[in-house]
Structure 1
Amino acid sequence: MSVQPSIRQFLSQYFPVFMGAIFASIFSLVFAVPLFFDSYFGTLSMADNVKWSFWGGITLTLVVVHCNFMIARGRSFWVWPLVGVSGLCFLCVLPTIEYRPDSLIYSLSLFFPLVALLLLNSKRHREMRRKLVEIRHQRERIIQSAKASRPRR
């Protein structure tokens, strides 16, 4: 019997919350960025609005993807930029009620950042980050021992 948990057990336990946080972050960007540009920059032409929404969404999506990649590599402090992006989406969308956006879009723009923050702060996500840090430390020890046992030329 192995002391190490299997990858299947690890994924079945932590993969849903990990992917849920990713999807909630991406969906919060999908709804918040266009609403932000449409509300605050109403004088922009439709083409400029689409262009800036696209580039803003792509940039923030790359940040979300990079942060989640670093979390998966065992760098748990990269959760803070994700918290910042979700908080920024929520805080930028909240005052747009003054511009009378579509109620469904507005409510989804507030819902998804809150779900992302909830999932990032969940017990299971925190536990997953701790285990990924342990795996990173094990990996670094194995690499160091392999380098130490290798003969020098």
Structure 2
Amino acid sequence: MNELPSIRSFLSTYFPVFMGAIFASIFTLVFTVPVFFDSYMPSLSMADNAKYAFLVGIALTLIIVHCNFMIARGHPQWTWPVVVLLGVCFLSVLPTLNDQPNALMYALSLVFPLLGLLLFNSKRHREMRQKLVEVRLLREAISARQKAR
């Protein structure tokens, strides 16, 4: 019964920043992948462009989901693949201004990776990762005690 308030306070404190980082990462892909394919592969037909953008988007989304699942399980080193992905997305879209992409798509494909990086570097996200490591260590200790019996 004492665990419920701590879980509730943990979620009310850290869940918004955790979900914000996930949504910023997903929206980064939503806006970056089409701009990337339009600018760097102009010879592709519209159908091929959409097909490849969809497949790459799905693959990168699975990577983001897996990394965030591992973060939630108490492995903070899995933030690095998402941070690298956000950085690559930002840096790959930045030079496409010469190709005159849609201004809104261009702006959002630059804003969302920066927002995601800001959320991953926030004090609250770092505190959450540290608390999740503590929970993982407690879980491993309980599991080791159960196996010893």
Would the TM-score normalized by the shorter structure come out above 0.5? yes
1:3, CA displacement in angstroms? 8.7
1:2, CA displacement in angstroms? 5.0
Rounded Cα–Cα distance in structure 2 between residues aligned with 1:96 and 1:60? 20
Equivalences for 1:106-121 in 2 at 5 Å?
106-121=106-121
Rounded Cα–Cα distance in structure 1 between residues aligned with 2:5 and 2:75? 20
Q: Give the counterpart letter for 2:27 in structure 1.
A: F
Question: Is 1:84 aligned to 2:94, yes or no?
Answer: no
1:90-115 alpha-carbon deviations (Å, 9 max, x no partner): 00100000100111110000000000
Rounded Cα–Cα distance in structure 1 between residues aligned with 2:133 and 2:98? 44
TM-score normalised over the length of structure 1: 0.94
Equivalences for 1:3-82 in 2 at 5 Å?
6-82=6-82
Local SS of the residue matching 1:107: helix
Structure 1 residue runs of 4+, over 2 Å off?
A: 1-5
1:131, CA displacement in angstroms? 0.2
Question: Is 1:127 aligned to 2:127, yes or no?
Answer: yes
Rounded Cα–Cα distance in structure 2 between residues aligned with 1:3 and 1:38? 51
1:51-109 alpha-carbon deviations (Å, 9 max, x no partner): 11001100100000000000000000000001011001100100000100111110000
Rounded Cα–Cα distance in structure 1 between residues aligned with 2:91 and 2:14? 29
1:101-145 alpha-carbon deviations (Å, 9 max, x no partner): 111110000000000000000000000000000000000000000
Higher-Rg member (1/2): 1
Unaligned runs of 5+ residues in structure 1 are: none
Identity, in percent, stands at 66
Rounded Cα–Cα distance in structure 2 between residues aligned with 1:106 and 1:3? 46
Q: Give the counterpart letter for 1:86 in structure 2.
A: L
TM-score normalised over the length of structure 2: 0.97
1:28, CA displacement in angstroms? 0.4
Rounded Cα–Cα distance in structure 1 between residues aligned with 2:139 and 2:7? 15
Unaligned runs of 5+ residues in structure 2 are: none
Rounded Cα–Cα distance in structure 2 between residues aligned with 1:96 and 1:5? 49
